[in-house]
Amino acid sequence: MTETLQIQPWDRLAQLIAAGDDEEVRTLLGQLPSGDVGRTLSRLTEENRTALLLLLGPEAYASLIEPLSGAQTRQLIEELSAEQAAAIVEELPSAEQADVLGDLATEEAAAILHHMPAAEAETTRQLLQYPPDSGGGLMITEYLSYGAESTVGDVVEDMIRNRERYYDYDVQYCYITGPGGRLAGVLRLRDLLMVRHSQPVSSVMRPPLSIDVAAALDEMKHFFDDHPFVGAPVTDRDGVLLGVVRRSSVVEALGEKATEVFLAVSGLIREDELRTMPVLKRARRRLSWLSLNILLNVLAASVIAFYQDTLAAVIALAVFLPIISDMSGCSGNQAVAVSIRELTLGLVRPYEFLRVVGKEGAVGLLNGLVLGLLLGTAAVLWKGNIFLGLVVGTALMFNTLVAVVLGGLIPLALRAAKQDPALASGPILTTVTDMVGFFLVLSFASVMLGLLV
């Protein structure tokens, strides 16, 4: 509660922006814990953010928004004119330029590129052609390379001359190129310490290990698992040096995949939603997934409609239908998560159906027995009719088995069909298990109708 009595940093910032006090604005932003920058920026009005950009200049504004999440950076760039956006994008490292522009609509990105210096725009255009999580998509183009004819002294001199400019790169390696820009070797900085300056670099460099520009995220992960490097050169099919992929970029891309999976299983498709986005946009995005779901739900519930007479005769069954639907969903989703996890870790391949059936069948049977027994007992205790317990308990037992086995299989099938398991597994699973579950309860009940009423 004390928090609401204090003046919030964004309110204070808005006052300072209105007063045009750029000194104080800088001081305030400097004092803000870096974890608060994103929230503070997001709570300013759009006008105030634009005023802030004018006050700070594009370089300082760029370094302010660079650490923010992709979704927030995109949002902040989108609200600017193409010219303003270009001035900021220019200040970002090459890989992030491509990230930000790749997230925008094509025309918007083109407009921003149009306002950037021609050479830089060209580099970024080329980076934009690589798939986001490929070697080319993750690489940075800020690196040091020297011709094979250079001497150690040339390299050291260049580094001394440009120490300020290289500071931000946090240089770890120098790359040595031969004819046509082909990667010829790698020098660790520490190798340079141990040799005479008159030696040619070609005599001290190591043979290069490189990542292909088309390498998939998995391959890069394995590369860095196998080698202790903090970065690796990226080459094209001809061995020409194109950029550098850092270990941390690969690890970060893998982490982002995990976040995407979480958002997708929660029914948030495509990109991140932030609450600073317009209401209509947020509502529409969520609705695209919900409206598909309601159709599937109506389809599943049609099984109940088919058995209305049974239900009318034993109205108590209506109490158990949502329970069976929800519990089968829960059991099945656990198996979905294990399959998605094992697919990610490479512990199961999409065609290994039989293995999953065996492994999930055993768990599904055990947990079906326990849950069926629990629900059956609850039914008997409530209505004093042992047959009611038998019907709902048996139905839940079989449906748990079905849900767990299907939950294990669906992600494999979707992956085999080149679809995203995180997005579609849930809706497919719950529709099928609802239908089967409703059918099991109501058909069992129909058969035993005389014993239930």
Q: State which of positions 183-242 bind a second copy (CB under 8 A).
A: 189-190, 192-194, 218-219, 221-222, 225-226, 228-230
Selected from 170, 199, 416, 453, the binder of a second copy by CB under 8 A is 170
Q: Does 274 sit near a second copy (CB under 8 A)?
A: yes
Instruction: Supply the minimum distance, in Å, between the C-beta of residue 224 and a second copy.
Output: 8
Instruction: Supply the minimum distance, in Å, between the C-beta of residue 450 and a second copy.
Output: 19
- For a second copy, the binding residues in 336-375 under the rule CB under 8 A are 336-338, 340-342, 345-349, 351, 355-356, 359-360, 362-363, 366-367, 370-371, 374-375
CA 427 – CA 288 distance, rounded (Å): 13
Q: Does 386 sit near a second copy (CB under 8 A)?
A: no
- For a second copy, the binding residues in 111-140 under the rule CB under 8 A are none
Q: Does 259 sit near a second copy (CB under 8 A)?
A: yes
Instruction: Supply the minimum distance, in Å, between the C-beta of residue 114 and a second copy.
Output: 29
- Residues in a beta bridge with 240: 182
CA 277 – CA 142 distance, rounded (Å): 33
Among 80, 153, 161, which residue's Cα sits nearest to residue 115?
80
| Structure-token pair, residue 304 | 């109940």
Among 109, 169, 99, which residue's Cα sits nearest to residue 130?
99
Which one of the spans 54-62, 106-114, 124-132, 310-318 is the region binding a second copy (CB under 8 A)? 310-318
**CB contact at 8 A, 391 and 448:** yes
Residues 76-115 vs a second copy: string with x where CB under 8 A?
A: ----------------------------------------
The total number of residues written for the chain in this structure: 453
Task: Look up residue 206 and give its DSSP letter.
Answer: B
**CB contact at 8 A, 197 and 230:** no
CA 240 – CA 380 distance, rounded (Å): 74
- For a second copy, the binding residues in 42-61 under the rule CB under 8 A are 42
Q: Does 329 sit near a second copy (CB under 8 A)?
A: yes
Instruction: Supply the minimum distance, in Å, between the C-beta of residue 110 and a second copy.
Output: 29
Cβ closer to a second copy: 111 or 263? Answer: 263
Q: In what order do the strands lie in the sheet with 144-147?
A: 144-147, 173-177, 183-188
Q: Does 378 sit near a second copy (CB under 8 A)?
A: yes
**CB contact at 8 A, 439 and 398:** no
